[in-house]
Structure 1
């Protein structure tokens, strides 16, 4: 069976302008669930369909590999057009047996949700599947009629089995069902239960702040570790590869202090197939000499906007932002740390960087922090390979 994931994104959003590419917890809204779909390894191909050049550009920046972007017709982008209309349009272009419709407005979806749902779909020979959350609320009609309980025998909450509420995170649909009925749900229907907080979809401005806090809390809970292999390690220099001190020789030449343990860690990364890239805002002969000694070809001095440089290099590197680890210690590194898959900082980084780091090293810059980061990356990739 050929499984494909599909996320339709349109340019116009009535409630929140540019909603789909709006930054939430440091990343575009669409990127959260799309990244988890990639990490799940459930799909043969993953597609985004859009009518917006800006969205297309954002998707390709976030995911230069692993996601294909298709044109979406104007007819399927009107306020009155159904989601099924764009699914049927997609069906005319791409071959599949099962399609997974992913909603960008549900960024709390995790990779294991896709995996568990797929197992259930196959085990029960389903035709379609929806996601839902448990609810123990009591519902009434506008005319005052109780829907899901008897008011004369009001159950205690702990005794009330409750209902399942569709949360719209994603749907599985067989091609045959979609073609025959024009609907995403039908035939033998299954339900994948998700955690209660995923009931919240982003439809209003107020939803953004709530979901952002949930994302940040979840990142802390799971140690904010990547769910896909790290393929590139980018480094700051001063305060990271060095101790940040200012040393001068008798002739006035600026000197830098490096740690030999860091050099060995970087060599281990490269031997494992991970690219190493060093970016510095300065243009230091001492750093250039050290990079030559370490045989690091991708050294970029005099970079004032490090994240812009990384974005520029993504297509030639052939990696996605979530496949990059970055280590930095100061505010000039913050934008990179907020956008990559694994953000690392030395123990003596500035407070704002410490708050945004996924992993804070036990060692300081120039004293083995980079070696610790290299070991952490190798452990992550090793653990992911064993799963």
Structure 2
């Protein structure tokens, strides 16, 4: 059996300009699912077909030898052309037994999805396979006719089997079926069920923002491995504050903090996560705020933040991999480059944004720290649940 993967990418995108090569979570959109296809080792060859020299160049930059790029005709790149037309054109050039059509707009696809789907395809002797997610929603037609339940006998959600919704992440199709029917699905059809978040396909800017945060979260979890975050160290100006400097008539400096950030830090401490705040300045306003929050681990006037980070890790008897650090400017770069979880506000300097594992949606002083705290708590909870599941 000769297995190939195929991703069609066209130059024009109506909803999001240059969508296929636009950077999301630090990489071009197309690269995420292609990389997972490579990692899965399910395919003998992987191809991209495109009508765009720019896309061709970016694909070859990301995957210089692992992915082959073919030309795609103008006829298969129109707004009305079907994806099957691109698949059939591809089959005229490349011989295969089974092709996997991969959608660039589903970057949350994982290597294990390809592996499990291929195992199912072979084990069940399928002709085609689609991916889907479970949905327990009640569906109706435009004419107010129920599709998947009886309104007179409305089931409880916990008793409702629901249905599977096609998510378009990828498909498997036998060459014989594609040639005879000009369709990606037919014959003996199987379904590979994927996780709930993969229901999101990127069609607009809202989808983009949501998926980017999920990718960054996924990236952070991958960096942490099996370890949990045990401590959170953060900067003040441009992180806990909006970076503004407010002066009273007598020259007194005021700083603006966010109440939600304070509650997030409290939640971390309540869950056994150490919190440490350090600043390159010695500000009475910040000192007063730290006292109000009962944060004893506050270090003002620090010129070398990495030295403090190292000393705290040694004192706490933990690895730098167990520590999350949040900062916004170049003075935070050493710390951000060494910790297990590096986070920054949405308005951090570009050099920091390029090095962190997670960029917050919110800017500094407007809930970015709370977002980071919620992220840390969520990741630790997921890891706890996974550990308990593995031991049960």
TM-score band by shorter chain is 0.5 to 0.7
- CA distance in structure 2 between the partners assigned to 1:332 and 1:111 by the alignment: 37
- CA distance in structure 2 between the partners assigned to 1:128 and 1:38 by the alignment: 21
- Is 1:216 the counterpart of 2:208? The answer is no
Q: Secondary structure, in 3 states, of the residue corresponding to 2:171?
A: strand
Equivalent positions of 1:202-351 (< 5 A) are 202-223=202-223, 345-346=337-338
Question: Aligned-pair distance for 1:224?
Answer: 6.3
- CA distance in structure 2 between the partners assigned to 1:348 and 1:43 by the alignment: 33
- CA distance in structure 2 between the partners assigned to 1:345 and 1:158 by the alignment: 45
Over 3 Å counting, the alpha-carbon distance change for 1:142 and 1:166 in structure 2 is same
Q: Contact conserved, 2:343 with 2:357, CA < 8 A, in 1?
A: no
Query: Which consecutive unaligned segments of at least 5 residues does structure 1 have?
Result: 226-329, 335-343, 360-387
- CA distance in structure 2 between the partners assigned to 1:23 and 1:32 by the alignment: 10
Over 3 Å counting, the alpha-carbon distance change for 1:92 and 1:356 in structure 2 is same
- CA distance in structure 1 between the partners assigned to 2:332 and 2:78 by the alignment: 41
Q: Contact conserved, 1:47 with 1:69, CA < 8 A, in 2?
A: yes
Aligned match of 2:45: 45
Question: Aligned-pair distance for 1:220?
Answer: 2.1
Question: Aligned-pair distance for 1:350?
Answer: 9.2
Between 182-191 and 215-224, the greater mean CA deviation after superposition: 215-224
- CA distance in structure 2 between the partners assigned to 1:351 and 1:200 by the alignment: 24
Question: Aligned-pair distance for 1:346?
Answer: 2.7
Q: What TM-score, normalized to structure 1?
A: 0.60
Q: What TM-score, normalized to structure 2?
A: 0.60
Question: Aligned-pair distance for 1:126?
Answer: 0.2
Aligned match of 1:33: 33
Question: Aligned-pair distance for 1:153?
Answer: 1.0
- Is 1:88 the counterpart of 2:88? The answer is yes
Q: Secondary structure, in 3 states, of the residue corresponding to 2:131?
A: strand
- Is 1:195 the counterpart of 2:187? The answer is no
- CA distance in structure 2 between the partners assigned to 1:100 and 1:125 by the alignment: 16
- CA distance in structure 1 between the partners assigned to 2:69 and 2:148 by the alignment: 43
Q: Contact conserved, 1:331 with 1:350, CA < 8 A, in 2?
A: no
Q: Contact conserved, 2:8 with 2:49, CA < 8 A, in 1?
A: yes
Over 3 Å counting, the alpha-carbon distance change for 1:11 and 1:146 in structure 2 is same
Q: Contact conserved, 1:121 with 1:190, CA < 8 A, in 2?
A: yes
Aligned match of 1:251: none
Q: Contact conserved, 1:345 with 1:354, CA < 8 A, in 2?
A: no
Question: Aligned-pair distance for 1:345?
Answer: 2.5
The count of residues paired between Structure 1 and Structure 2 equals 247
Q: RCO higher in 1 or 2 (8 Å CA, sep ≥ 6)?
A: 1
Aligned match of 2:312: none
Aligned match of 2:178: 178
Over 3 Å counting, the alpha-carbon distance change for 1:49 and 1:350 in structure 2 is closer
- Please, what is the CA RMSD of the aligned residues? 2.6
- CA distance in structure 1 between the partners assigned to 2:153 and 2:85 by the alignment: 45
Q: Contact conserved, 2:223 with 2:341, CA < 8 A, in 1?
A: no
Q: Secondary structure, in 3 states, of the residue corresponding to 1:345?
A: helix
Q: Secondary structure, in 3 states, of the residue corresponding to 1:173?
A: strand
- Is 1:101 the counterpart of 2:93? The answer is no
Q: Contact conserved, 1:224 with 1:358, CA < 8 A, in 2?
A: no
Over 3 Å counting, the alpha-carbon distance change for 1:358 and 1:75 in structure 2 is same
Over 3 Å counting, the alpha-carbon distance change for 1:201 and 1:348 in structure 2 is closer
- CA distance in structure 2 between the partners assigned to 1:169 and 1:350 by the alignment: 29
Over 3 Å counting, the alpha-carbon distance change for 1:171 and 1:349 in structure 2 is closer
Question: Aligned-pair distance for 1:349?
Answer: 12
- CA distance in structure 1 between the partners assigned to 2:152 and 2:341 by the alignment: 61
Q: Contact conserved, 2:337 with 2:355, CA < 8 A, in 1?
A: no
Q: Secondary structure, in 3 states, of the residue corresponding to 1:222?
A: helix
Aligned match of 2:119: 119
Question: Aligned-pair distance for 1:88?
Answer: 0.2
Equivalent positions of 1:54-69 (< 5 A) are 54-69=54-69
Between 98-107 and 206-215, the greater mean CA deviation after superposition: 206-215
Question: Aligned-pair distance for 1:217?
Answer: 1.4
Aligned match of 1:370: none
Query: Which consecutive unaligned segments of at least 5 residues does structure 2 have?
Result: 226-328, 345-351, 359-392
- CA distance in structure 1 between the partners assigned to 2:177 and 2:26 by the alignment: 38
Q: Contact conserved, 1:131 with 1:191, CA < 8 A, in 2?
A: yes
Aligned match of 2:21: 21
